[in-house]
Structure 1
């Protein structure tokens, strides 16, 4: 005959230094009342003048950047004004590597009004056409094919190669 060991009472976990507090389960107050009393107890905490944290004014921070600075930075790195030194050209040269020069990137971006996504698609289309020994000199025709194909490179390439 097997005997089962006696069931021992479950020990409550320690209350992390809050042993004076009564657990919620043993009180008749609701959870909301407990939260309200805990928040009220925060008001009674004493702190010295040294304990308060005061924010420093932005003018005293060494890493402060104004909105004007950010706007000036965005003008310095984006778009037609910067040409081969723009972010768009850097992105395209990282994607395509040595297959495309920064000057070619600028030319392609000019054809798509400096929309980087469309510039990448136009570049891919031109590369597909070159691989298939097609004429890539008609960039406006390539942009038109991409527009009619909803900027799907493969569909536009199929349309241009079949013509």
Structure 2
């Protein structure tokens, strides 16, 4: 017992029976790719039509938290296309119009983009978004992102 710091004290607690699945937040229902297709088409239409402000508003409203990983990745491709079509000068104005929840969702997409090879190719654009977001709202969305278990 010389290395008492490595003892798993939860193993001795009879009331502690949490599993990894117990820590996953409950979702209403599974979102499918077919349900996201209209939103993805609307995003493409808005961004190609020049309404990038409306497209970013749509991206940050009702993210597909309960979708499977394949669906989330396909949806993220459309999000990345939309974010990369926004002019650098417009980013700060768009970010200022987002509420706190929308900013948190945007941070989640930015971090996801920086972690994927597709997003790393667009790293400069994602970092520009990240810079403008932190200038506008500080570190609050980042702290919420770090403490939230829901992923985009």
TM range (shorter): under 0.3
Max Rg structure: 1
Greater relative contact order, per chain length (Cα 8 Å cut-off, separation 6+): 2
TM-score, normalised to structure 2, is: 0.24
From the two aligned structures, give the one with the greater helix fraction.
2
